[in-house]
Amino acid sequence: MANIRPFRPQDEAQVTRLWQEIFPDDPPHNAPHLVIQQKRLWHPELFFVLEVETELVGTAMAGYDGHRGWLNSIAVKPSHRRCGFGEQLVRHAEIALQRIGCPKVNLQIRDTNTEVAAFYSKLGYRVENLISMGKLLSPGE
């Protein structure tokens, strides 16, 4: 049976292995230890893991900046996909955001990631006609 609970420091090694497997092309500023370090400072209660038995097979990170909520790092181990775990993680994060007053949630996916777009569409997310822009604040680090 699956269980979703908040991240604990002792999960770091398992989460790192999972993200390295699922997000192998992530840039250096998204290195798991950096992401985890920051998330433990900012809304750590919105960082969730999903366990099946004692194995950690999924993650979800949410954030709220007081205006919009965000979903990041929704990930399910390939061996455990299409069992509803991704949906459970997203719903869990959405409920946690709602509880703290967040009115809307956004997420970003690579434009080549059509499979993940299908997943989010099934969960009620719609493509919005916006241009997503970003800037590294510490280039080279």
Nearest residue (CB) to ligand COA, 127 versus 139: 127
Nearest residue (CB) to ligand COA, 51 versus 140: 51
Cα angle 18, 21, 23 (rounded to 5 degrees) comes to: 95
Residue 5 within binding range of ligand COA, rule CB under 6 A = no
- Among residues 1, 102, 120, 10, which one has the least CA distance to residue 60? 120
Candidate segments 5-13, 34-42, 68-76, 132-140, binder of ligand COA by CB under 6 A: 68-76
Residue written as token pair 């192998």? 24
Among 12, 26, 51, 87, binds ligand COA (CB under 6 A): 87
Nearest residue (CB) to ligand COA, 24 versus 139: 24
| Cβ atoms of residues 15 and 99 within 8 Å | no
| Cβ atoms of residues 104 and 45 within 8 Å | no
Residues ≥6 apart with Cβ < 8 Å to 113: none
Residue 85 within binding range of ligand COA, rule CB under 6 A = yes
For ligand COA, the binding residues (CB under 6 A) are: 22, 72-76, 81-87, 109, 113, 115-116, 118-119, 122
